[in-house]
Protein backbone atom coordinates (compact mmCIF):
# COMPACT_ATOMS: atom_id res chain seq x y z
CA UNK A 1 0.00 0.00 0.00
CA UNK A 2 1.31 3.44 -0.94
CA UNK A 3 0.60 6.04 1.72
CA UNK A 4 -0.17 9.52 0.44
CA UNK A 5 -0.87 12.47 2.70
CA UNK A 6 -3.56 15.13 2.21
CA UNK A 7 -6.22 12.57 1.43
CA UNK A 8 -9.22 11.16 3.22
CA UNK A 9 -9.57 7.40 3.66
CA UNK A 10 -12.99 5.92 3.06
CA UNK A 11 -13.72 2.55 4.60
CA UNK A 12 -16.87 0.80 3.46
CA UNK A 13 -18.44 -2.14 5.25
CA UNK A 14 -18.25 -5.25 3.08
CA UNK A 15 -21.95 -5.92 3.60
CA UNK A 16 -22.17 -8.99 1.36
CA UNK A 17 -25.33 -10.19 3.07
CA UNK A 18 -27.41 -7.02 2.70
CA UNK A 19 -28.46 -4.69 -0.15
CA UNK A 20 -27.35 -1.80 2.08
CA UNK A 21 -23.82 -3.24 1.95
CA UNK A 22 -23.79 -3.02 -1.83
CA UNK A 23 -25.08 0.57 -1.66
CA UNK A 24 -22.27 1.38 0.78
CA UNK A 25 -19.66 -0.18 -1.48
CA UNK A 26 -20.91 1.44 -4.69
CA UNK A 27 -21.26 4.86 -3.02
CA UNK A 28 -17.66 4.59 -1.81
CA UNK A 29 -16.44 3.74 -5.29
CA UNK A 30 -18.44 6.61 -6.81
CA UNK A 31 -16.57 9.01 -4.52
CA UNK A 32 -13.20 7.42 -5.33
CA UNK A 33 -13.74 7.21 -9.08
CA UNK A 34 -15.95 10.18 -9.89
CA UNK A 35 -16.65 12.73 -7.15
CA UNK A 36 -13.33 13.12 -5.31
CA UNK A 37 -10.75 10.93 -7.12
CA UNK A 38 -7.77 13.07 -6.10
CA UNK A 39 -8.76 13.51 -2.47
CA UNK A 40 -9.71 9.99 -1.41
CA UNK A 41 -8.28 6.50 -0.93
CA UNK A 42 -9.75 3.26 0.32
CA UNK A 43 -8.76 -0.06 1.83
CA UNK A 44 -10.63 -3.36 2.09
CA UNK A 45 -11.97 -3.54 5.65
CA UNK A 46 -11.01 -7.20 6.34
CA UNK A 47 -7.46 -6.37 5.28
CA UNK A 48 -6.98 -4.69 8.66
CA UNK A 49 -7.04 -8.17 10.13
CA UNK A 50 -5.40 -10.10 7.29
CA UNK A 51 -2.83 -7.48 6.38
CA UNK A 52 0.28 -6.12 8.00
CA UNK A 53 1.39 -2.96 9.78
CA UNK A 54 1.05 -0.83 6.61
CA UNK A 55 -2.65 -1.62 6.41
CA UNK A 56 -3.19 -1.10 10.11
CA UNK A 57 -1.55 2.31 9.93
CA UNK A 58 -4.21 3.45 7.47
CA UNK A 59 -6.42 5.44 9.88
CA UNK A 60 -3.39 6.82 11.66
CA UNK A 61 -2.13 8.27 8.38
CA UNK A 62 -5.46 9.39 6.88
CA UNK A 63 -8.51 10.95 8.51
CA UNK A 64 -11.15 8.32 7.73
CA UNK A 65 -14.86 8.16 7.01
CA UNK A 66 -16.60 4.88 7.76
CA UNK A 67 -19.53 3.98 5.52
CA UNK A 68 -21.79 1.40 7.12
CA UNK A 69 -24.75 -0.47 5.68
CA UNK A 70 -26.45 -1.32 8.95
CA UNK A 71 -26.54 -0.42 12.62
CA UNK A 72 -23.88 -3.01 13.47
CA UNK A 73 -21.43 -0.45 12.07
CA UNK A 74 -18.65 -2.91 11.21
CA UNK A 75 -16.67 -0.33 9.22
CA UNK A 76 -16.65 2.14 12.10
CA UNK A 77 -15.90 -0.50 14.73
CA UNK A 78 -13.33 -2.35 12.60
CA UNK A 79 -11.42 0.79 11.67
CA UNK A 80 -11.39 1.92 15.30
CA UNK A 81 -10.32 -1.50 16.59
CA UNK A 82 -7.56 -2.24 14.11
CA UNK A 83 -6.35 1.14 12.92
CA UNK A 84 -7.72 4.37 14.41
CA UNK A 85 -11.00 6.11 15.18
CA UNK A 86 -12.84 7.37 12.07
CA UNK A 87 -13.53 11.11 11.93
CA UNK A 88 -17.06 10.48 10.70
CA UNK A 89 -19.50 7.67 10.00
CA UNK A 90 -22.20 7.58 7.35
CA UNK A 91 -24.95 5.05 7.94
CA UNK A 92 -26.92 3.94 4.88
CA UNK A 93 -30.07 3.19 6.87
CA UNK A 94 -30.04 6.78 8.15
CA UNK A 95 -29.53 8.28 4.69
CA UNK A 96 -32.39 6.11 3.42
CA UNK A 97 -34.78 7.81 5.85
CA UNK A 98 -34.30 11.04 3.89
CA UNK A 99 -35.34 9.34 0.66
CA UNK A 100 -38.24 7.03 1.57
CA UNK A 101 -39.30 6.77 -2.09
CA UNK A 102 -36.03 5.00 -2.95
CA UNK A 103 -36.45 1.28 -2.24
CA UNK A 104 -33.58 -1.19 -2.35
CA UNK A 105 -33.47 -4.97 -2.76
CA UNK A 106 -30.51 -5.91 -5.01
CA UNK A 107 -27.23 -7.17 -3.68
CA UNK A 108 -25.57 -7.79 -7.02
CA UNK A 109 -26.39 -5.30 -9.77
CA UNK A 110 -28.08 -2.08 -8.71
CA UNK A 111 -31.32 -0.99 -10.37
CA UNK A 112 -31.67 2.73 -11.38
CA UNK A 113 -33.52 3.59 -8.15
CA UNK A 114 -30.81 1.89 -6.09
CA UNK A 115 -28.08 3.65 -8.05
CA UNK A 116 -29.85 6.93 -7.30
CA UNK A 117 -29.61 6.17 -3.58
CA UNK A 118 -25.94 5.20 -3.93
CA UNK A 119 -25.34 8.55 -5.65
CA UNK A 120 -27.08 10.41 -2.79
CA UNK A 121 -24.87 8.58 -0.28
CA UNK A 122 -21.79 9.34 -2.39
CA UNK A 123 -22.68 13.03 -2.34
CA UNK A 124 -22.91 12.96 1.46
CA UNK A 125 -19.52 11.26 1.67
CA UNK A 126 -18.00 13.84 -0.71
CA UNK A 127 -19.43 16.67 1.40
CA UNK A 128 -17.83 15.15 4.48
CA UNK A 129 -14.50 14.79 2.63
CA UNK A 130 -14.59 18.51 1.81
CA UNK A 131 -15.36 19.41 5.44
CA UNK A 132 -12.46 17.31 6.72
CA UNK A 133 -9.96 18.68 4.21
CA UNK A 134 -11.16 22.23 4.82
CA UNK A 135 -10.63 21.85 8.58
CA UNK A 136 -7.22 20.33 7.94
CA UNK A 137 -6.21 23.21 5.67
CA UNK A 138 -7.20 25.76 8.33
CA UNK A 139 -4.96 24.13 10.93
CA UNK B 1 -28.66 -31.12 10.49
CA UNK B 2 -31.79 -30.20 8.53
CA UNK B 3 -30.92 -26.68 7.37
CA UNK B 4 -27.26 -27.23 6.68
CA UNK B 5 -25.88 -24.88 4.07
CA UNK B 6 -22.52 -24.06 2.61
CA UNK B 7 -21.50 -20.51 3.51
CA UNK B 8 -19.89 -18.75 0.55
CA UNK B 9 -17.74 -15.85 1.75
CA UNK B 10 -16.24 -13.43 -0.76
CA UNK B 11 -13.57 -10.96 0.25
CA UNK B 12 -14.81 -7.38 0.38
CA UNK B 13 -12.32 -6.49 -2.37
CA UNK B 14 -13.31 -2.87 -2.82
CA UNK B 15 -9.96 -1.81 -4.24
CA UNK B 16 -9.84 -4.09 -7.27
CA UNK B 17 -12.16 -5.40 -9.95
CA UNK B 18 -11.20 -8.96 -8.98
CA UNK B 19 -12.86 -8.36 -5.61
CA UNK B 20 -16.06 -7.55 -7.45
CA UNK B 21 -15.62 -10.72 -9.53
CA UNK B 22 -15.62 -12.75 -6.29
CA UNK B 23 -18.62 -10.91 -4.94
CA UNK B 24 -20.64 -11.28 -8.15
CA UNK B 25 -19.71 -14.99 -8.34
CA UNK B 26 -21.05 -15.39 -4.81
CA UNK B 27 -24.42 -13.86 -5.71
CA UNK B 28 -24.66 -16.05 -8.81
CA UNK B 29 -24.33 -19.09 -6.55
CA UNK B 30 -26.47 -18.05 -3.58
CA UNK B 31 -29.26 -16.33 -5.54
CA UNK B 32 -29.46 -18.41 -8.72
CA UNK B 33 -27.46 -21.63 -8.86
CA UNK B 34 -27.79 -23.04 -5.33
CA UNK B 35 -30.19 -20.82 -3.35
CA UNK B 36 -31.43 -23.72 -1.20
CA UNK B 37 -27.99 -25.01 -0.33
CA UNK B 38 -25.95 -21.88 0.25
CA UNK B 39 -25.87 -18.50 1.93
CA UNK B 40 -23.35 -15.80 2.63
CA UNK B 41 -22.27 -13.72 5.59
CA UNK B 42 -20.77 -10.23 5.77
CA UNK B 43 -17.02 -10.76 6.04
CA UNK B 44 -16.64 -7.56 8.07
CA UNK B 45 -19.17 -8.88 10.59
CA UNK B 46 -17.10 -12.02 10.93
CA UNK B 47 -13.93 -9.97 11.24
CA UNK B 48 -15.55 -8.08 14.12
CA UNK B 49 -16.28 -11.35 15.94
CA UNK B 50 -20.09 -11.11 15.81
CA UNK B 51 -21.57 -14.13 17.62
CA UNK B 52 -24.08 -15.10 14.93
CA UNK B 53 -21.47 -14.83 12.19
CA UNK B 54 -18.99 -16.92 14.18
CA UNK B 55 -21.61 -19.60 14.87
CA UNK B 56 -22.54 -19.72 11.20
CA UNK B 57 -19.00 -20.36 9.95
CA UNK B 58 -18.23 -22.81 12.75
CA UNK B 59 -21.34 -24.90 12.22
CA UNK B 60 -21.40 -24.94 8.43
CA UNK B 61 -18.81 -25.71 5.77
CA UNK B 62 -17.42 -22.54 4.17
CA UNK B 63 -16.01 -21.66 0.77
CA UNK B 64 -13.83 -18.55 0.64
CA UNK B 65 -13.57 -16.57 -2.60
CA UNK B 66 -10.66 -14.15 -2.54
CA UNK B 67 -9.89 -11.51 -5.12
CA UNK B 68 -6.18 -11.28 -4.43
CA UNK B 69 -3.35 -13.26 -2.78
CA UNK B 70 -3.88 -11.39 0.53
CA UNK B 71 -6.74 -13.91 0.93
CA UNK B 72 -8.67 -11.89 3.50
CA UNK B 73 -11.70 -14.14 3.37
CA UNK B 74 -9.77 -17.38 3.88
CA UNK B 75 -7.66 -15.88 6.68
CA UNK B 76 -10.63 -14.39 8.49
CA UNK B 77 -12.53 -17.70 8.35
CA UNK B 78 -9.47 -19.50 9.75
CA UNK B 79 -8.93 -16.92 12.50
CA UNK B 80 -12.62 -17.30 13.39
CA UNK B 81 -12.12 -21.08 13.66
CA UNK B 82 -14.64 -21.59 10.89
CA UNK B 83 -14.96 -24.79 8.87
CA UNK B 84 -13.05 -23.84 5.74
CA UNK B 85 -13.95 -26.56 3.22
CA UNK B 86 -12.53 -24.93 0.10
CA UNK B 87 -11.05 -21.68 -1.12
CA UNK B 88 -10.69 -20.04 -4.52
CA UNK B 89 -8.40 -17.16 -5.42
CA UNK B 90 -9.68 -15.18 -8.40
CA UNK B 91 -6.16 -14.43 -9.65
CA UNK B 92 -5.50 -18.20 -9.95
CA UNK B 93 -8.64 -18.70 -12.03
CA UNK B 94 -7.74 -15.69 -14.16
CA UNK B 95 -4.34 -17.26 -14.87
CA UNK B 96 -6.16 -20.15 -16.53
CA UNK B 97 -8.40 -17.76 -18.47
CA UNK B 98 -5.88 -15.26 -19.76
CA UNK B 99 -8.10 -14.04 -22.59
CA UNK B 100 -10.45 -12.44 -20.06
CA UNK B 101 -9.76 -8.85 -18.98
CA UNK B 102 -12.04 -8.02 -16.05
CA UNK B 103 -12.56 -4.34 -15.41
CA UNK B 104 -14.80 -2.22 -13.19
CA UNK B 105 -15.60 -2.24 -9.49
CA UNK B 106 -18.93 -0.40 -9.45
CA UNK B 107 -20.04 -2.56 -12.34
CA UNK B 108 -18.10 -5.38 -13.98
CA UNK B 109 -17.54 -5.44 -17.71
CA UNK B 110 -18.76 -8.47 -19.68
CA UNK B 111 -15.42 -10.27 -19.38
CA UNK B 112 -15.43 -9.79 -15.62
CA UNK B 113 -18.94 -11.18 -15.51
CA UNK B 114 -17.81 -14.17 -17.58
CA UNK B 115 -15.00 -14.82 -15.10
CA UNK B 116 -17.52 -14.57 -12.26
CA UNK B 117 -19.69 -17.11 -14.08
CA UNK B 118 -16.75 -19.53 -14.36
CA UNK B 119 -15.97 -19.16 -10.66
CA UNK B 120 -19.64 -19.54 -9.74
CA UNK B 121 -19.68 -22.83 -11.68
CA UNK B 122 -16.62 -24.05 -9.75
CA UNK B 123 -18.18 -23.07 -6.42
CA UNK B 124 -21.48 -24.65 -7.34
CA UNK B 125 -19.82 -28.00 -8.10
CA UNK B 126 -17.88 -27.79 -4.86
CA UNK B 127 -21.07 -27.11 -2.88
CA UNK B 128 -22.60 -30.37 -4.13
CA UNK B 129 -19.40 -32.28 -3.38
CA UNK B 130 -19.14 -30.88 0.16
CA UNK B 131 -22.78 -31.59 1.03
CA UNK B 132 -22.54 -35.11 -0.48
CA UNK B 133 -19.55 -35.90 1.73
CA UNK B 134 -21.33 -34.55 4.79
CA UNK B 135 -24.31 -36.91 4.40
Q: What's the domain count of chain B?
A: 1
Q: What is the pLDDT of residue B2?
A: 57
Domain ranges of chain A: 8-128
CA distance A104 to B14: 20
Q: What is the pLDDT of residue A1?
A: 44
Provide the number of CB pairs (under 8 Å) joining chain A to chain B: 101
Is B45 contained in some domain?
yes
Of B41, B71, B105, the CB nearest to A50: B71
- Closest CA–CA distance from residue B98 to any residue of chain A (Å): 25
Q: What is the CATH number of the domain that holds B105?
A: 3.40.50
Residue A4 has pLDDT above 90, yes or no: no
CA distance A95 to B52: 26
In chain B, the percentage of residues whose pLDDT exceeds 90 is 88
Helix or strand or coil: residue A136?
helix
Chain B residues whose beta carbon lies within 8 Å of the beta carbon of residue A29? 14, 105-106
pTM, 2 dp: 0.90
CA distance A45 to A30: 17
Across A134-138, B50-54, B84-88, least confident range:
A134-138
Domain that holds residue B24: 6-130
Helix or strand or coil: residue B63?
strand
Number of other residues whose CB lies within 10 A of the CB of residue A99: 13
Is B1 contained in some domain?
no
Mean pLDDT throughout A78-87? 92
Mean pLDDT throughout A21-39? 96
Confidence of residue A54 (pLDDT cuts 50, 70, 90): confident
- Which is higher by pLDDT, B16 or A26? A26
Is A40 an interface residue toward B (CB < 8 Å)?
no
Of A44, A51, A108, the CB nearest to B12: A44
Chain A residues whose beta carbon lies within 8 Å of the beta carbon of residue B44? 13-15, 45-46, 74-75, 78
In chain A, the percentage of residues whose pLDDT exceeds 70 is 96
Residue A2 has pLDDT above 50, yes or no: no
Which residue in chain B has the smallest CA separation from A110? B107
Tell me the DSSP string of A27-93: HHHHIIIIISTTTEEE--TTHHHHS-HHHHTHHHHS-EEEEESSTT-HHHHHHHHHT---SEEEEHH
Give 3-state DSSP helix, strand, coil % of chain B, rounded to 5. 50, 15, 35
Give yes or no for a contact between A67 and A75, defined as CB atoms under 8 angstroms apart. Answer: yes
DSSP state of B107: S
Amino acid sequence: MTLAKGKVGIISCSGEDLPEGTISRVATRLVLEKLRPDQTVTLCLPLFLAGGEDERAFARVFPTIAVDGCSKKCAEAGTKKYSGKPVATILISEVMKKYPHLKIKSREKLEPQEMELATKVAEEIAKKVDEILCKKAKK
Amino acid sequence: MKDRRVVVVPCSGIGKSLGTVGRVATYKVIERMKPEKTRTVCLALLTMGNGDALRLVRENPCIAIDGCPAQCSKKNIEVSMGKLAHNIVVTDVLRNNRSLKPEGVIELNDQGDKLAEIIAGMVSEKVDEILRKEK
